[in-house]
C-alpha cells in the first residue's frame, strides 16, 4: 500500500504543482492519475520514488516513510516506465532489460536469463534480444521498457504516460498486455495519463486531478462515469459518459432472440413462419457460424446473396457497450451474439440492449453499487 498523506509540492519559482494531496494506493491494483496538462500528475508520481521531494506531507510504502530508505534502494523497489521508453540506446534489448538485476549484483548469465523470460512475458519475439532500441518499433520499445521495469520483480510499478507515443491500435495492444501481466503478477501500479479512455480501460481506481494538483475525485471508473463529483470531472469525461459506462455492464444476461436464426438449407416457409413478421433472418453455416442476413420472403437460398452480418459480439465477454455498437453497425439493427468459438447464440436489437441496461442498473442499485465488482473490465 502506498499512502500519500497531505502532500504538497511548490517549485522554486512558486508554482504549486500539487496541493495537499491525500491518496491511498492499494496493492495488487492499478491506480490511474488523470487530469489536464500541468495538473501535477508527473510531479505526484515522481514524489513516490523521490525523484522529486515533496515540500510538505509524507509518502509511505507499507507504513514506512519513503525518506527513511536510501534513495537507490527505494528506486530499485519501484519499476519506472516513461513515454518513449527511455531505453539505453547503446545497449541491446536483452542488456537493457537486464540493467537492474546487474545493478543488484546478479551474474551476467542469470540477469540475461531473467531478461529472456521477461521478453516472453511482455510479448517480445526472442529474435529481438540482440537488437538495439533504434531497430525496434515504438510499441516494441515500450514493451522493452515494461520488461526492464519488471526485471527485479519490484512490488510497485510507476508508469508515466508509457503508451502515449504510439498509435491507437498499438496502444490498445499494450494496454491489454499490461492488464494480462497485471493479472499474473498483481503489482501496485500507479499509471499517469491525460487520456480518460485509457484511464477507464486499465484503472481499478482513478484519481482525477484538477489544475493546481488538487484531487477532484478518487473512485472506480464506473462510479466516476455514473456519478462525477462535480462539473469539472463531468466536463473532463466528455459528452458520452453514459455510453462509456456501458463498458462495465456484461452481455451475460442479454435476452437473445434465437427465433430468427436458421442454418443454411432450412425450409423457407418455416423461416417466414417463425421469424417476426417482415423481419430479416440470420442464416448460419452447418456449424452455427453466421453467414449473413436474408429476407425470408424473397431470398432464393443463394448464400452469395446474403447481406453481411457485420461485426459480432461475444456473449459474456463483451460489454453492453460493444453489443450496442454492433446494433448500430448492423445492416438490420440486430447485433449477432456468438460464443467463444464464433457460433451464433442469438441476435439482439437496440430495445433488447436497452432493457438489459435497465435491468443491470436495477440489479446494481439493489446490490448497493460500491460492493459490486465491475462486470466487465477494459471497455471492450
Ligand X SMILES: Nc1ncnc2c1ncn2[C@@H]1O[C@H](COP(=O)(O)OP(=O)(O)OP(=O)(O)O)[C@@H](O)[C@H]1O
Candidates 23, 31, 32, 40; binder of ligand X (CB under 6 A) is: 40
CB 167 within 8 A of CB 175: no
By CB under 6 A, residue 15 contacts ligand X: yes
Tell me which stretch binds ligand X (CB under 6 A): 9-17, 73-81, 182-190, 371-379: 9-17
By CB under 6 A, residue 42 contacts ligand X: yes
Separation between Cα atoms, residue 334 and residue 337, nearest integer Å:
9
**Minimum Å distance from CB 345 to ligand X?**
43
Site string for ligand X, 185-224 (x = CB under 6 A): ---------x------------------------------
Coil, helix or strand at residue 377: coil
Nearer to ligand X, 46 or 121 (CB): 46
**Minimum Å distance from CB 200 to ligand X?**
17
CB 233 within 8 A of CB 74: no
Tell me which stretch binds ligand X (CB under 6 A): 35-43, 64-72, 175-183, 233-241: 35-43
The packing angle between helices 138-150 and 108-121, to 10°, is 130
Nearer to ligand X, 36 or 342 (CB): 36
Rg of the Cα trace of the chain? Answer: 25
**Minimum Å distance from CB 36 to ligand X?**
7
Tell me which stretch binds ligand X (CB under 6 A): 10-18, 140-148, 284-292, 367-375: 10-18
Nearer to ligand X, 39 or 190 (CB): 39
Candidates 34, 41, 218, 344; binder of ligand X (CB under 6 A) is: 41
The number of beta carbons lying within 10 Å of the beta carbon of residue 142 is 30
DSSP assigned state of 257? B
By CB under 6 A, residue 259 contacts ligand X: no
The packing angle between helices 350-366 and 320-329, to 10°, is 170
Q: What are phi and psi of 297, to 5 degrees?
A: -75, -30
The number of beta carbons lying within 10 Å of the beta carbon of residue 99 is 17
Separation between Cα atoms, residue 336 and residue 326, nearest integer Å:
8
Q: The cell 509518502 sits on which residue?
A: 59
Candidates 6, 11, 167, 230; binder of ligand X (CB under 6 A) is: 11
By CB under 6 A, residue 39 contacts ligand X: yes
The binding site for ligand X (CB under 6 A) comprises 11, 13, 15, 17, 37-43, 194
Amino acid at each position: 500500500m502506498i499512502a500519500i498523506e497531505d502532500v504538497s509540492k511548490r517549485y522554486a519559482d512558486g508554482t504549486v504543482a500539487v496541493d495537499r494531496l491525500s491518496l491511498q494506493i492499494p496493492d495488487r491494483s492499478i491506480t490511474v492519475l488523470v487530469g489536464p496538462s500541468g495538473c501535477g500528475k508527473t510531479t505526484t508520481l515522481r514524489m513516490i520514488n523521490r525523484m522529486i521531494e515533496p515540500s510538505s506531507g509524507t509518502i509511505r510504502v507499507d507504513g514506512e516513510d519513503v525518506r527513511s530508505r536510501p534513495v537507490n534502494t527505494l528506486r530499485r523497489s519501484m519499476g519506472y516506465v516513461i513515454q518513449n521508453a527511455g531505453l539505453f540506446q547503446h545497449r541491446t534489448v536483452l542488456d537493457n532489460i537486464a540493467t537492474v538485476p546487474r545493478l543488484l549484483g546478479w551474474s551476467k548469465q542469470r540477469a540475461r536469463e531473467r531478461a529472456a523470460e521477461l521478453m516472453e512475458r511482455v510479448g517480445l519475439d526472442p529474435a529481438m534480444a540482440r537488437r538495439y532500441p533504434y531497430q525496434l518499433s515504438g510499441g516494441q520499445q515500450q514493451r522493452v521498457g515494461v520488461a526492464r521495469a519488471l526485471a527485479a520483480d519490484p512490488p510497485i510499478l510507476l508508469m508515466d504516460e508509457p503508451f502515449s507515443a504510439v498509435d491507437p491500435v498499438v496502444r490498445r495492444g499494450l494496454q491489454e498486455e499490461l492488464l494480462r501481466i497485471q493479472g499474473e503478477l498483481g503489482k501496485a501500479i500507479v499509471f499517469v495519463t491525460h487520456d480518460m479512455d485509457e484511464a477507464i480501460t486499465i484503472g481499478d481506481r482513478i484519481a482525477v486531478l484538477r489544475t493546481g494538483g488538487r484531487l477532484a475525485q478518487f473512485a472506480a471508473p464506473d462510479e466516476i462515469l455514473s456519478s462525477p463529483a462535480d462539473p469539472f470531472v463531468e466536463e473532463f469525461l466528455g459528452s458520452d459518459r453514459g455510453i462509456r459506462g456501458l463498458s462495465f455492464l456484461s452481455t451475460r444476461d442479454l435476452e437473445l432472440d434465437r427465433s430468427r436464426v436458421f442454418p443454411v438449407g432450412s425450409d423457407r416457409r418455416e423461416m417466414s413462419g417463425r421469424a417476426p413478421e417482415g423481419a430479416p433472418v440470420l442464416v448460419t453455416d452447418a456449424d452455427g457460424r453466421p453467414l449473413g442476413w436474408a429476407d425470408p420472403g424473397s431470398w432464393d437460398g443463394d448464400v452469395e446473396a446474403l447481406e453481411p452480418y457485420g461485426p459480432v459480439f461475444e456473449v459474456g465477454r463483451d460489454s453492453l457497450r460493444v453489443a450496442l455498437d454492433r446494433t448500430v453497425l448492423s445492416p438490420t439493427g440486430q447485433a449477432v451474439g456468438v460464443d467463444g468459438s464464433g457460433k451464433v447464440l442469438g441476435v439482439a436489437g437496440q430495445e433488447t440492449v436497452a432493457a438489459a441496461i435497465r435491468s443491470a442498473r436495477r440489479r446494481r442499485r439493489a446490490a448497493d453499487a460500491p460492493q459490486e465488482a465491475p462486470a466487465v473490465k477494459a471497455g471492450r
